[in-house]
Chain A
Amino acid sequence: MSKEAHDRRRTLRVLGTSVAAVALFATAGCSASSDSGSGDGDVVLEFAQWWEPELPDGAFRELMDEFEAENPGITVELLSGPYASTKEQLFAGAAAGTMSDVVGLDGAWVSDFANQGAIADLTELMGESDYDDSELASQIQVDGATYMIPVVNFVYPMFTNDDLLAQAGVAAAPTNRTEFTAAANAVAGLGEDTSGWILPLSLEAPNGIQNDVMSWVWATGGSMLDDDGQPDVTNSDVTSAVEYVKGLWDDGAIAPGAFTMKEQDKVEEFTNGRVGMMIDSLAHINLIRESNPDLNFSISALPADDGFDGERGIPYASWGIGVADSSEHKAEAFKLVEFLMSEKTNSKLSSIANAFPGNTESVPDFVAEDELFATAFEIYQNGYPANEFTGLPVAEQLMRLFDEQFQVLLDGGQSVDEMLEKTQEAWLAEF
């Protein structure tokens, strides 16, 4: 070999090794594609969700092991992370076409993913699998096709600190707005940093608009949308609820710091015994009990407008499930959906999640074992799950737009009518 040839080979070797090393390094952090068939013909399903970390250690994996035992040849690989990370991961996956085969969904994302073509039409998959959907409590649809099935639901009843209420001379939890105002003002009047009600309005996580403001509309059977599903926040239901909350604000019955308060702050303040009433997820019952075992609290239905005797809407949040449109194993993915929605598995999952089942036939264990949960289940069954943000486009942004105008209103910068008109205009622009 000539000297020049030797030099050339050496250079090529160095170059080749360097580039290969860099390429390896650059791609090491990238996630695997959703093509997940293994070498022996088995199917590996990727399941991205935020549920596993919120359940007792190993509990969700056990359910997946059951599924694998029932479906030989299918393996489930759980991709678990916090809610926010899962959301970002799914949006990145949707953009890159590498979404996991099965995905945990929040109702607020469904419209965007469906319009993007990132999640599969479940109505079609149900038809292909001859699936009977009569047991499903609800389905989230876009343009008439189902894209998400709520697996379990977390309802948001009213929590009352019974000791504080008793101290303020309130004998029973309020059932209508007038009683609620009286109770809130009475508790706020106790002084010592106590407040009647707590309202988180942080713009970082504006779900307070859904859970704590719009819940007043739904509790009275009202709606923030018109018959065509378009924004209608200037209607009398929403106007009345907004005026009502503004009244509580003006009375000084609402806990301070609302404009930057998040849901966890709300729960913390209630747990510390500084707040008389809050609207919160049932999922927090155990957290409150563990953090403050001495707190004497109970739950009840959200107060409705005076004289209302119709069926009350109760706000809820869901752990929803969907299938990626880019999945190469849609049939297997739907088997996993079927498994999670089956009466037996859904009962188990709702029991360990302290949530209400997405299958109408399922009954979680805690309903029989715990008085508070039994009450909540009764409230759930007497009303109907109401969350009009589910399935709307850019749902979180809609809450934020409402929140921004609502803060200006509470700060005295505009009237209720101006606030609602500006919100209506901003919402229409997003639809």
Chain B
Amino acid sequence: MMITTTTTLTESAEPSAPPPTPTPMQGPARRRRLGHPGEPYAFIAPTAVLMLVLMIVPIVLVIGYSFMDNVITKKNPEFVGIENFVEVLTDGVFATALGNTLFFTIVSVVAHLLLGLGFSMLLNSPLVSRASRAVFRVIYILPWLFTAAVIAVLWRMLLNPNGVVNYLLSSDVEWLSSPSLALGAVTFINIWAGYPFFMISLLAGLQGIPADLYEAATVDGANGWQRFRNVTLPQLRPIIISMTLLDLIWTSQQFALIWMTTGGGPIHVTEMLSTFTYKLAFSRYEFALASTSAVIILLLSMVLAFFYVRHQRARD
């Protein structure tokens, strides 16, 4: 593909040159420039092999495991059809985990979007000087720079019954240990950790909106809200859709933060599909059931991935 493109550019770079005279030598000469027909395959071979080894093979293996009675811990696992799927789907904890994951994901993504949009508009405001903008940009992006382990430790300390938050509020709330508050608390932590990604992407989008559009809207008598609704939002729409779909996929798979803050508890109030799957594999050593749960998550993620790819195609 690259060579073909180069050829086209070379041809178009000399529009006034006479077209080459067709001769019997044109075919081999063209082949010489393009190299051997097998050469493109050699170029994509490393990527293809990597994809095969690191993606296709593990996915196929996991799908295969989900139809066996138990793998890895059993020397001769047997095919059991959809038995594992029935067991996982009828497990009450799985239903709880699915509900929690939906709540956690939807609330997180909506909050990421609103906070990201809000902060990006503040940073993009002409009222803010360039120096202040740079300083605030660093401050706002900080949560995104921390790894999940650091975020978990930080918030566990802040939300400890004897921690800073309770000290400031003069309260003794068990933020992460109370069954009625834990899911909200981990969702809040995830919102705090993830909004900068939206903010940076939307800020880049805002900076790319031509000033003419706002000027034209102002001339037409549009007020601030109307300019936001009819100029800013439509211009940001492609970014918002892409980011929302990606964030839905990522957040629904969040594991480290949940595991290191609550471990899926108290009871099962913060159990997510990811922690449910992890426990099946590394606590019960039921690798076939864990594979089944992973396949179900894969299918759910593929629905989101389908919409993402379709949106990207429509953009292209």
Contact = CB atoms under 8 A, between A and B. Distances in A.
Nearest to A400: B283
Given A26-B49, A117-B75, A396-B283, A11 B264 contact: no
A23 B265 CA distance: 42
A260 B267 contact: no
B265 A407 contact: yes
A288 B311 CA distance: 57
A418 to B, nearest CB: 14
A18 B41 CA distance: 10
Contact of B176 (A91, A201, A257): A257
A253 to B, nearest CB: 15
Contact of A7 (B36, B53, B179): B36
Contacts of B260: 204
Interface residues of B, number: 44
A257 B161 contact: yes
Give the secondary structure class of A's interface.
helix
A257 B160 contact: yes
Interface string B242-277: 000000000000000001111111111000000000
A408 interface: yes
Contacts of B279: 397, 400
Nearest to A255: B161
B89 interface: no
A250 interface: no
Contacts of B160: 257, 265
B174 A256 contact: yes
B16 interface: no
Nearest to A404: B267
A219 B53 CA distance: 53
B54 interface: yes
Contacts of A404: 265, 267-268
B177 interface: yes
Contacts of B188: none
Given A26-B50, A260-B176, A400-B279, A15 B264 contact: no
Given A15-B41, A26-B49, A203 B284 contact: no
A204 B282 CA distance: 11
B263 A202 contact: yes
A21 B46 contact: yes
Given A256-B174, A274-B162, A397-B283, A14 B75 contact: no
A95 interface: yes
A429 to B, nearest CB: 10
Contacts of A204: 259-260, 262-265
A112 B260 CA distance: 25
A430 B74 CA distance: 15
A95 B290 CA distance: 15
Interface string A367-403: 0000000000000000000000000001011001001
Interface residues of A, number: 49
A190 to B, nearest CB: 14
A394 B284 CA distance: 6
B38 interface: yes
B72 interface: yes
Contact of B49 (A8, A19, A269): A19
B45 A91 contact: no
A193 interface: yes
B254 to A, nearest CB: 15
A394 B36 CA distance: 58
Interface centre among B45, B176, B267 (most CB of A within 10 A): B267
With a 10 A CB-CB cut-off, give which of A19, A87, A259 has the most chain B CB atoms.
Answer: A259
Given A257-B161, A396-B283, A400-B279, A203 B262 contact: yes
Contacts of B265: 201-204, 259-260, 403-404, 407
Contacts of A201: 265-266
Given A11-B38, A259-B174, A394-B283, A18 B262 contact: no
Interface string A342-356: 000000000000000
From B177, B268, B279, residue with most partner A Cβ within 10 Å: B177
B96 to A, nearest CB: 11
B73 interface: yes
Contacts of B50: 22, 25-26
A22 B52 CA distance: 11
Contacts of B174: 256-257, 259
Interface in B71-128: 72-75
A188 to B, nearest CB: 13
Nearest to B179: A411
Contact of A407 (B38, B156, B267, B284): B267
A31 interface: no
Interface in B33-47: 35-36, 38-39, 41-43, 45-46
B285 interface: yes
Nearest to A7: B36
Nearest to A272: B162
Contacts of B262: 202-204, 260
Interface of B: 35-36, 38-39, 41-43, 45-46, 49-50, 53-54, 72-75, 156, 160-162, 172, 174, 176-179, 182, 259-268, 279, 282-285, 287
Closest 5 CB pairs of A and B: A204-B263, A259-B266, A203-B265, A256-B161, A259-B177
27 contacts: A10-B39, A14-B43, A15-B42, A19-B45, A22-B53, A26-B50, A26-B53, A94-B72, A112-B285, A203-B262, A203-B266, A204-B259, A204-B265, A205-B263, A255-B161, A256-B161, A256-B177, A257-B161, A259-B174, A259-B265, A260-B261, A260-B263, A265-B160, A400-B279, A404-B265, A407-B266, A411-B267
